[in-house]
Structure 1
Amino acid sequence: MGLHLLLLHVLLVTVVARAPAAHAWRKEGHYMVCKIAQSFLTSEASAAVTSLLPGWARGELAETCSWADDERRRYPWSGALHFADTPGDCQFFYDRDCHNTEGKKDMCVVGGINNYTAALMNSSAPSVDPTISLMFLAHFVGDVHQPLHCGNTDDYGGNTIIVYWYNTTTTNLHRVWDLDIIQKAMKDFYNDDLSIMTQVIMKNITEGWSDEEREWEACPSRTKTCADRYAMESAQLACDVAYAGVEQGSILGDDYFFSAVPVVQKRIAQGGVRLAAILNRIFGENSRPQSI
């Protein structure tokens, strides 16, 4: 085995060993999803959410949205709730795909969204902490919009696909979507300023995507979420964009970046709008959404 192939093999084994601990969007992506969501809350929902936030969040939902990743060691059972990988057919089916590695049903990101939505709708239920429910829900809505959190089971959502980012950084495909695309976009387009990137995405929601926004947030039931639809979208995008043309050892550069970055920004926008819609349904919709 040549040195290059040996190195790739060693890296692949390392990634497989830690694949279940992969994060979605990393802190930057989750922050933007929740910052957008808070701006779309009704005044009633905004007051309810603010009252549930821990003191260290200083009234900012976005400050809590990486909490579920930070606390994985404290809640080891929650690992399966961050993703919903599929057999690679570009589709998500709840009964087939929503389970953990032991086959336990409802243990996937869609199940997590549904369960924590139900918990917040009935926060008086025994042993339910509404603050923890809110933080898990906010995080998982972000997760389900990262396409490779509904990626292929056999490569752990791209975790075991070793790639070279601009021929300078050895990484894996999942991390490219979690972090590298966002970081390059921030550096190239937004002066490394997360708040500017967030504001631009918000402006796109009200201008460029204004015709689509109502469709994004629409959900026919007040008691159930439409998270299975969000997972289906991600599974399709994983096939159409994230995995497209990528093999072990691929070098990903401008062509890949410019095809992926609009998808990443739109999924962050959709995640924010939909999280707000879920929270507005939970806490009431008697007030008009706040302007952004």
Structure 2
Amino acid sequence: MRINTLALAAVAAPAAVMAWGDVGHRTVGYLAAKYLSPGAIELYGSLLANDQGFDISDAATWADTIKQKMPWSSPYHYINPVFDDPPNNCNVTWPSDCPEKKGCVVSAIVNYTSIVLDRSSSHIDRKNATMFLLHLIGDLHQPLHVTGYKTGGNDVEPICWNHEPPETGGSCGGRLNLHSVWDTRIPHKLRGLPTSLDNPAEKVAAATWAEDLFARQQRTTAISECDRIDAGAECILGWARESNALVCDAVLARGEDWILSNDLSDEYFEENKHVVDDQIGKAGVRLAAWLNAIAVVAPPDDSKEPEMVGGGGDL
């Protein structure tokens, strides 16, 4: 069911590094909004209501903005399979690949789902849990957030992109690493965007991308969903393994030596742009199905509290 974009959550200034970048996360949020059920619209409109005009795309970026104030949440954005050796071997082993004390993206989604479902939890806790879900399900579809290889590709550098000159030594690309290529460079080039945008421009770009994805999804085979919110990590682990497989099949398919020796804005971009487009599309559809399933069980919360835990901003 298609709906108008919701005005939802207030956020702080964005952090320096974000999975998918703001444009990707905003697109996931906008796309999910098009599939929300009436019950989900009521629930999340109640939980995330604000008077500052922040919308669902702002809610989808919030979890990155509070990493410094809530450092314990950083491990929730990824899972690092111990035995990853792309392109030869990619696999997620559960639960051994998720540190019990620190947690990971899979366990975080399970835990935050349970908080939103728990009507005895405070309004603030359910609000923050909802915003974590909006963000982390997006993270789970970024392949380099689901690999233990060289800190999710952050240590695969320096990368050449558009023959950029070195910034601080090294070869073409300077400080640019493989993770950043997948977070922002491929998505931005795919959508014809500059390297950086201000928030209003990000929202326009993301809303347009979501519209394109939604239109194409109406004409193609449905994306496989999983809304078993009562089945622990079952659905989430399936998505994680799918993303992890892409590290071998796409991200590092040519091997690290080739990646460090070529301009990735050329042939590499052409080979992988559809992977980014597909993953953003899947994330939006699956996020909506997950949120809709929660809304069936958890009715709206009419209570309101003044601000979000972690200094996320005033409502």
| Class of the TM-score when normalised by the shorter of the 2 chains | 0.7 to 0.9
1:151 maps to 2:147 = yes
Instruction: Please point out which of 66, 70, 75 is paired with 1:71.
Output: 66
CA distance in 2, matches of 1:44, 1:156: 39
Higher helix share: 1
Residue 195 of structure 1 aligns to which amino acid in structure 2?
Answer: A
Structure 2 matches for 1:41-80, cutoff 5 A?
Answer: 41-55=36-50, 58=53, 60-80=55-75
Residue 166 of structure 1 aligns to which amino acid in structure 2?
Answer: N
Q: Which residue does 2:96 correspond to in 1?
A: 96
Deviation by residue 1:201-227 (Cα, 9 ceiling, x = unmatched): 11122113xx232x2x13445453511
1:212 maps to 2:207 = no
Residue 251 of structure 2 aligns to which amino acid in structure 1?
Answer: A
Question: Contact 1:53–1:59 (CA<8 Å) still a contact in 2?
Answer: no
Residue 33 of structure 1: how far off its partner (Å)? 0.5
CA distance in 1, matches of 2:192, 2:147: 27
CA distance in 1, matches of 2:52, 2:33: 13
Greater mean alpha carbon deviation, residues 178-187 or residues 86-95: 86-95
Name the CA shift for 1:279/1:219 in 2 (closer, same or farther; >3 Å): closer
Residue 238 of structure 1: how far off its partner (Å)? 1.1
Name the CA shift for 1:128/1:228 in 2 (closer, same or farther; >3 Å): farther
Residue 239 of structure 1: how far off its partner (Å)? 1.2
Q: Which residue does 1:244 correspond to in 2?
A: 253
1:132 maps to 2:110 = no
CA distance in 2, matches of 1:76, 1:212: 37
Residue 167 of structure 1 aligns to which amino acid in structure 2?
Answer: H
1:284 maps to 2:292 = no
- Percent of aligned pairs sharing the same letter: 32
TM-score (norm 2): 0.75
CA distance in 2, matches of 1:253, 1:119: 42
Question: Contact 1:30–1:139 (CA<8 Å) still a contact in 2?
Answer: yes
CA distance in 2, matches of 1:106, 1:205: 37
Deviation by residue 1:96-144 (Cα, 9 ceiling, x = unmatched): 2112xxxx35711111111100111114136961110101111100000
Residue 51 of structure 1 aligns to which amino acid in structure 2?
Answer: S
Q: Which residue does 1:233 correspond to in 2?
A: 242
CA distance in 2, matches of 1:193, 1:273: 19
Q: Which residue does 1:182 correspond to in 2?
A: 187
Instruction: Please point out which of 264, 270, 277 is paired with 2:282.
Output: 270
Question: Contact 2:138–2:283 (CA<8 Å) still a contact in 1?
Answer: yes
Gaps of 5+ in 1: 1-20, 286-292
CA distance in 1, matches of 2:18, 2:206: 19
Question: Contact 2:143–2:243 (CA<8 Å) still a contact in 1?
Answer: yes
Residue 268 of structure 1: how far off its partner (Å)? 0.7
Count of aligned positions: 254
Instruction: Please point out which of 175, 178, 192 is paired with 1:173.
Output: 178
Name the CA shift for 1:197/1:78 in 2 (closer, same or farther; >3 Å): same
Name the CA shift for 1:47/1:57 in 2 (closer, same or farther; >3 Å): farther
Gaps of 5+ in 2: 1-15, 166-172, 194-203, 298-315
Report the 3-state secondary structure (helix = DSSP H, G, I; strand = E; otherwise coil) of the residue aligned with 1:55. coil
Residue 114 of structure 1 aligns to which amino acid in structure 2?
Answer: V
Instruction: Please point out which of 178, 183, 195 is paired with 2:207.
Output: 195
Report the 3-state secondary structure (helix = DSSP H, G, I; strand = E; otherwise coil) of the residue aligned with 1:257. helix
Runs of 4+ in 1 over 4 A off after TM superposition: none
Report the 3-state secondary structure (helix = DSSP H, G, I; strand = E; otherwise coil) of the residue aligned with 1:96. coil
Residue 237 of structure 1 aligns to which amino acid in structure 2?
Answer: L
Deviation by residue 1:29-86 (Cα, 9 ceiling, x = unmatched): 0000111111111001111111111416636211211111111011100010000122
* RMSD after superposition: 2.3
Name the CA shift for 1:118/1:143 in 2 (closer, same or farther; >3 Å): same
